[in-house]
Homo-oligomer: A and B are copies of this chain.
Amino acid sequence: MRDVRVSLVGYGIVGHGVVEVLNRKKKVLREMGLDLKLVSVTDHTGTVFSEEGINAEKILGERTLQNVATSSMKGKEAIIAIDSDLVVEVTPTNIVHGQPGLGHMEAALSSGKHVVTSNKGPLVVAYSNLRKLAEDNGVMLKFEATVGGVMPLISLVERTLVGNTIYGIRGIFNGTCNYILTRMAEEGIPYTHALSEAQDLGIAEADPSYDVEGVDTAGKVVILANSLFDMNVKYSDMNVTGITGVTSEALALAKKRGYVIKLIGDVPALTVRPTLVPIGSPIAVAGTLNSAAIYTDISGTITVTGLGAGSIETASAILSDIISIYRTKRIDAIF
């Protein structure tokens, strides 16, 4: 049995999902020989710590840790002080300066802890530094959940398609934009109506600009470019157009010709823009789904689709990364 002590930093929607999934999958993981023990959870109000593993039921009902914290430690302080093997970083993202996640990841990697994250900001801002820090400390940095939600995109490219040359990746990386464009096309309604509907359903934020201006998609393209294509690009290298200028007339015209309009991110083109996609194309998925077509030399084009967001779904991508760390840890010894 492999014992792994996990610290969780960030206790918002995704953090709650992580606690729930680790709890729900405890038995299955033990049957595989992996004993994941959640020893601490930290948010902006403090830390819950338990040497024996935190009882999920005791904290899942709490929106923050304010009433259950066993220590006032926060952020880096908690990460360094607590004896754990792996840090799951899921604090709110900021793709301009990457904080507070960037500092958290640096602290974790520097103290020899693996990092698994759904937090795009630090990777957009400082991928190569974080990567180097992980290598220097002999630990892993895994971030499948930052790109396209539950689509196992990075794992597909790095593991299953490992013998392939990857020419490019194109797809839908933002469920909010996809929902709005899908509704506009289906109902012939204008952008503002579809946005309001998405906001009412909790699919779009009150301030939707991060999604609808293409910022979120562009951040994901930067992460893919740096991690899978070794491109060393910054956000400012991206050419980005969001969906606010797409009209229902354009969508109707496209439909008549057998197309849909989708917000497509493209590596290595480093573009995000509304794009005509043939109906029936594997990336032309509807609703809040994400999709990614991977263009390869010997496997042709492989496309994968999945939910772009969701608390449990994002947590499942995090769990998959955690498992892969302990599954692949000794691969270097073989290859």
Which residues of chain A from 146 to 175 have a CB within 8 Å of any chain B CB? 150-152, 155-156, 159-165
**B335–A34 contact, CB under 8 A?**
yes
With A21-B298, A24-B298, A163-B25 in contact, do A334 and B329 touch (Cβ < 8 Å)? yes
Task: Report the Cα distance A6→B2, complex, angstroms.
Answer: 34
**A302–B298 contact, CB under 8 A?**
no
Shortest CB distance A298–B (Å): 4
**A300–B305 contact, CB under 8 A?**
no
Shortest CB distance A308–B (Å): 10
State the interface size on chain A (CB cutoff 8 A).
63
Task: Report the Cα distance A33→B155, complex, angstroms.
Answer: 20
| B residues less than 8 Å from A305 (CB atoms) | 282, 302-305
**A334–B323 contact, CB under 8 A?**
no
**A152–B161 contact, CB under 8 A?**
yes
Shortest CB distance A266–B (Å): 19
Is A291 in contact with chain B by the CB < 8 A criterion?
yes
**B164–A160 contact, CB under 8 A?**
no
Shortest CB distance A301–B (Å): 7
**B282–A299 contact, CB under 8 A?**
no
**A304–B304 contact, CB under 8 A?**
yes
| B residues less than 8 Å from A286 (CB atoms) | 280-281
Task: Report the Cα distance A164→B310, complex, angstroms.
Answer: 16
**Quick one: closest B residue to A287, CB to CB?**
B280
Shortest CB distance A43–B (Å): 22
**A306–B301 contact, CB under 8 A?**
yes
**Quick one: closest B residue to A25, CB to CB?**
B163
Which residues of chain A from 26 to 66 have a CB within 8 Å of any chain B CB? 28-29, 32-34
Is A80 in contact with chain B by the CB < 8 A criterion?
no
CB contact between A282 and one of B155, B260, B289, B310 (< 8 Å): that residue: B289
Is A95 in contact with chain B by the CB < 8 A criterion?
no
| B residues less than 8 Å from A315 (CB atoms) | 298
Is A19 in contact with chain B by the CB < 8 A criterion?
no
**A335–B330 contact, CB under 8 A?**
no
**A155–B160 contact, CB under 8 A?**
yes
**Quick one: closest B residue to A21, CB to CB?**
B298
Is A99 in contact with chain B by the CB < 8 A criterion?
no
| B residues less than 8 Å from A304 (CB atoms) | 302-305
**B306–A299 contact, CB under 8 A?**
yes
**B326–A313 contact, CB under 8 A?**
no
**A307–B316 contact, CB under 8 A?**
no
Which positions in A face B, CB cutoff 8 Å? 2, 21, 24-25, 28-29, 32-34, 150-152, 155-156, 159-165, 182, 260, 279-282, 284-287, 289, 291, 296, 298-307, 310, 312-313, 315-317, 319-320, 323-324, 326-331, 333-335
Q: A156-B156, A260-B280 are in contact. List 8 more A-B contacts (CB 8 A).
A: A25-B298, A32-B335, A156-B160, A281-B286, A299-B320, A300-B313, A327-B328, A329-B334
Give 10 CB contacts A-B under 8 Å: A25-B163, A151-B302, A152-B160, A279-B279, A280-B286, A298-B313, A299-B313, A300-B306, A327-B328, A330-B333
